Amino acid sequence: VQEKKIFMVQGPYPIIRHLLRARGWVERKLPSMGRQLEQHRGDQNKQRLKTRPRNGGGGQGEALLNPCGGAQPFLGTTDPLHYAWPPAEEEEEKEEEQCDEDPNGIHDLMSYLVRDRLPNFIWTNFLEATDHELLQQDHVVNHYARVDAFTTKEGLCLSLQNLPWIEQADPNTFFPRCYRLGTTDEQEAFIEDFRLTAARSLLKLALEEAGDRPVRTKQVSNSAKRAGVHVSHPKHSTAPAGFPLYTELVEEALEVCKQHLGVLRHHDIDRGTPSPCRTCIDWDRFLQEYYHVAHEGAGLVLTRQQRKQCQNLLRHLAEQLPQLGMEGKLNVWILKPGAESQGRGKAGGSREHTEAPHLGGVPPSMCSPGIVCMTRLEEVLQLARGFTAPSVQVGRWVVQKYVERLLTIFGTKFDIRQWFVVTDWKPLTVWFYRDCYLRFCSWPFSLCHLERARHLCNVSVQKWYKTSPDQDPRVPPDKIWSNKQFQEYLEQLGQADAWHQVLVPGMKAAILNALRSAQDQVGFRKGSFELYGADFLVGEDCQPWLLEINSCPTMRPSSAVTRRLCANVQRDILRLVLDRKNNPTCSIGAFELIYKE
- Name which of 4, 7, 129 is nearest 574 in CA terms: 7
Query: What is the β-pairing status of strands 140-141 and 414-425?
Result: unpaired
Chain segment 469-522, per-residue pLDDT in tens = 999 999 999 999 999 999 999 999 999 999 999 999 999 999 999 999 999 999
User: Rounded to 5 degrees, what are φ and ψ at 473?
Assistant: -65, -15
154, 189: one domain: no
pLDDT of residue 97: 46
539, 521: one domain: yes
Q: Cβ-count burial of 427 within 10 angstroms (0-12 exposed, 13-18 middle, 19+ buried)? A: exposed
Q: How many CB atoms lie within 10 A of CB 235?
A: 13
Residue 1 lies in a domain: no
* Mean pLDDT value of segment 1-16: 86
Number of domains in the chain: 3
Distance CA(189)–CA(174), nearest Å, equals 19
The DSSP symbol for 350 reads S
Residues in the chain: 597
544, 415: one domain: yes
Residue 456 lies in a domain: yes
Distance CA(136)–CA(121), nearest Å, equals 11
* Domain final position from 320, 353, 371: 320
pLDDT at 337 over 90: no
Residue 158 lies in a domain: yes
Choice among 55-64, 362-371, 376-385, 402-411 with the minimum mean pLDDT: 55-64
213, 165: one domain: no
Distance CA(340)–CA(89), nearest Å, equals 20
Distance CA(294)–CA(498), nearest Å, equals 32
pLDDT of residue 444: 96
* Domain final position from 85, 117, 141: 141
pLDDT of residue 115: 84
pLDDT of residue 9: 92
User: Rounded to 5 degrees, what are φ and ψ at 195?
Assistant: -65, -45
At how many degrees (to 10) do helices 249-266 and 304-320 cross? 30
* pLDDT above 70 as % of the chain: 71
pLDDT at 98 over 70: no
Q: Which residues contact 441 (CB under 8 A, 6 or more apart)?
A: 412, 413, 414, 453, 454, 455, 456, 457, 462, 479
Distance CA(317)–CA(188), nearest Å, equals 22
For 182, left (φ over 0), alpha (ψ -120 to 50), or beta?
A: alpha
54, 132: one domain: yes
Residue 523 lies in a domain: yes
At how many degrees (to 10) do helices 184-209 and 377-386 cross? 150
Highest mean pLDDT pick, 29-38, 111-120, 342-351, 491-500 = 491-500
- Supply angle C-alpha 508, 513, 517, rounded to 5: 150
Distance CA(27)–CA(25), nearest Å, equals 7
- With b for 16 or more beta-carbon neighbours within 10 A and e for fewer, the 163-198 pattern comes to beeeeebebeebbbbbbbbbeeebbeebbbbbbbbb
pLDDT of residue 299: 86
Distance CA(10)–CA(20), nearest Å, equals 14
195, 264: one domain: yes
pLDDT category, 235, cuts 50, 70, 90? very low
The DSSP symbol for 468 reads P
Distance CA(216)–CA(232), nearest Å, equals 6
CB 297 within 8 A of CB 233: yes
Task: Provide the sign of the torsion angle of the four alpha carbons 258, 264, 266, 271, taken in this order.
Answer: positive
Residue 326 lies in a domain: no
Q: Which residues contact 325 (CB under 8 A, 6 or more apart)?
A: 318, 405, 539, 540, 541
Choice among 152-161, 224-233, 464-473 with the minimum mean pLDDT: 224-233
161, 259: one domain: no
How far lies 392's CA from each of 260, 346, 371, in Å? 33, 12, 11
279, 420: one domain: no
* Domain final position from 320, 339, 371: 320
CATH of residue 168 = 3.30.470.20
137, 153: one domain: no
Strands (E), 121-201: 121-123, 140-141, 178-180
Distance CA(78)–CA(314), nearest Å, equals 52
pLDDT of residue 238: 35
pLDDT category, 134, cuts 50, 70, 90? low
pLDDT of residue 303: 87
Q: Which residues contact 34 (CB under 8 A, 6 or more apart)?
A: 51, 52, 53, 54
Residue 44 lies in a domain: yes
Question: Is the preceding peptide bond at 427 cis, omega within 30 degrees of 0?
Answer: yes
Chain segment 202-224, per-residue pLDDT in tens = 999 999 877 633 333 333 444 44
- Name which of 536, 566, 580 is nearest 433 in CA terms: 566
The DSSP symbol for 433 reads E
162, 40: one domain: no
- DSSP sequence for 21-80: HHTT-EE-PPP-TT-EEEE--SSS--EEEE---GGG--S--S-SS-TTS--PPP-----S
Owning domain of residue 438:
149-175+406-596
Residue 469 lies in a domain: yes
Q: Which residues contact 295 (CB under 8 A, 6 or more apart)?
A: 330, 375, 448
pLDDT of residue 370: 73
- With b for 16 or more beta-carbon neighbours within 10 A and e for fewer, the 534-568 pattern comes to bbbbbbeebbbbbbbbbbbbbbbbbbebbeebbbe
pLDDT at 67 over 60: no
pLDDT of residue 91: 42
CB 397 within 8 A of CB 384: yes
Residue 555 lies in a domain: yes
Question: Is the preceding peptide bond at 444 cis, omega within 30 degrees of 0?
Answer: no
- Is this prediction's pTM over 0.85? no
pLDDT of residue 59: 38
* Mean pLDDT value of segment 518-547: 95
How far lies 284's CA from each of 198, 236, 290, 291, in Å? 12, 24, 10, 11
Calculate the CA 576 to chain-centre distance: 26
130, 171: one domain: no
454, 579: one domain: yes
